[in-house]
Chains A and B, each alone.
Chain A
Amino acid sequence: GAVVSQHPSRVICKSGTSVKIECRSLDFQATTMFWYRQFPKQSLMLMATSNEGSKATYEQGVEKDKFLINHASLTLSTLTVTSAHPEDSSFYICSARIRGGSNEQFFGPGTRLTVL
């Protein structure tokens, strides 16, 4: 089946530092990857849609300069949280859509970010 991995699974950082989260499609090529954020007891909220080789499309209210997304290859997208603050602490989940496949998204295991 389609497997999506994320690294790291959890990260703790100091306020003001930047954190990079990687999302990889392990056994398929993904032209489109999605980044979500999930707060406790809340549903997944789409942050941005990332297409390979082009700029990401951000949802309303998501600061593109704070959440930098790079989709450099068909199997890798990265999310960098710049100058992280405690309110950025959340569960970040990526998903990927198979190139040439259906519109189904396959989700990664998530990354727990805690900003002190």
Chain B
Amino acid sequence: KNQVEQSPQSLIILEGKNCTLQCNYTVSPFSNLRWYKQDTGRGPVSLTIMTFSENTKSNGRYTATLDADTKQSSLHITASQLSDSASYICVVSRLSGAGSYQLTFGKGTKLSVIP
């Protein structure tokens, strides 16, 4: 069964601190993995995208890693800011036949950055 599991469910950190969010998946055949940031009441915004051959991808203070062998990914946020408070969603894409792709969404990690 194609699944994406994220941990922790929620996280509270102090402003300026770093944190790491985890994503484990069983999606197959794997196409790519994306991390999205979703602010409350808004649509998801893409942070990073990684294919099978990529181990790490950075976007400013966000750094994503991918271990395709263990089917694990992480999103590391450096020097957190209050505006980082949001849900972070891991999404894995698989090729589902006839050239189409299917996305499997994790439930997200709700991050709260406090002063």
Contacts and interface: CB of A to CB of B under 8 A. Distances in A.
Contacts of A42: 107
B105 A110 contact: no
B1 interface: no
Interface in B54-86: none
| Highest count of chain B CB atoms <10 Å: which of A44, A91, A105, A108 | A44
Contacts of A103: 31-32, 93, 101
B101 A110 contact: no
A74 interface: no
Q: Which of B36, B44, B46, B105 counts the most A-chain CB atoms under 10 A from its CB?
A: B44
Interface in A72-114: 91, 93, 95, 103-110, 112
Contacts of A106: 46
A43 B108 contact: yes
Interface residues of B, number: 21
B31 A43 contact: no
B107 A112 contact: no
Contacts of B106: 43
B49 interface: yes
A43 B41 contact: no
Interface residues of A, number: 20
Contacts of A109: 42-43
Interface string A30-55: 00000000000111111000000000
Contact of B41 (A46, A95, A105, A110): A110
B103 interface: yes
Nearest to B108: A43
B43 A93 contact: yes
Interface in A1-25: 4, 6
B42 A110 contact: yes
B45 A43 contact: no
Contacts of A44: 44, 89, 105
Contacts of B46: 104, 106
Interface of A: 4, 6, 41-46, 91, 93, 95, 103-110, 112
